[in-house]
Amino acid sequence: MEFKTIRTDAVPEIRLSGRMEFTDHDRLVEIVTELHEMPGSRVVLDLAGLEFIDSAGLGMLLILQEEAETRNTKLIVRGAAGDVRRSIELARLSEIITFEH
């Protein structure tokens, strides 16, 4: 998985791409660091470039949600499509995380 941070005047964004899976745990640490350094009270996590997510990847989304909560940032996850969207819906993560399509 790759990620890119976009700091705009509006809401900052973290864009994920590739495959988000078990082996990406080190990346997660980097993303959490980015998240903590972002200004403002809202952050968008863009999954449009993500091709695949496994159960470990879903767990990482839950971790990012908790990290955002602990620093009072509203995390908005958007752009999930195809199999990624399907996996997220199957696991009903929308009960915990805010998704925008």
Partner 1 sequence: MPVPALSLSDCRVLIVDDNEFNRKSLALVIRRAGITDIAFAENGREGLAAVDRFRPDLVLLDVDMPVMNGWEMCEALRRNATHEELPVLFQTALDSDEEQVRCFEAGGSDFISKPIKPGECVARVRHQLEKRKLFSDLAAFRERVQRELSHARAMQTSLLPEKRRLAEVADRYGLTLDAHFETSSELGGDFWGLYPLGDRRLGLLMVDFAGHGITAAINTFRLHTLIDRFPMHHVAPSQWLAQLNAALKDVLPTGQFATAFFGILDLAIDTLTFAAAGSPNPVLGTPAGVKGDGPDIRLLDSAGLVLGASRRAQYVDRSFRLPRGGFLFLYSDALIECGGDELGPLGQDAVPDFVRDALAKDRVHPLGPMMDSFYARTRLPLRDDLTAVWVARRA
Task: Report which secondary-structure segment, H or E, holds 29.
Answer: helix 25-37
Task: Judge contact between 13 and 43, C-beta under 8 A.
Answer: yes
Q: Which stretch binds partner 1 (CB under 8 A): 2-10, 37-45, 73-81, 93-101?
A: 93-101
Total number of residues that touch partner 1 (CB under 8 A): 19
Structure tokens at 1: 């998985």
Q: Which of 15, 63, 76, 99 binds partner 1 (CB under 8 A)?
A: 63
Residue 11 touches partner 1, criterion: CB under 8 A: no
Smallest gap from residue 22 Cβ to partner 1 (A)? 5
Q: Smallest distance from the beta carbon of 68 to partner 1, in angstroms?
A: 12
Assigned token pair, 19: 């495959």
Which residue lies nearer to partner 1 by CB, 26 or 95?
A: 95
98 SS3 class? strand
Residue written as token pair 């403002």: 40
With left for phi above 0 and alpha for psi between -120 and 50, is residue 68 left, alpha or beta? alpha
Q: Which residues bind partner 1 (CB under 8 A)?
A: 22, 54-56, 58-60, 62-63, 66, 83, 86, 89-93, 95-96
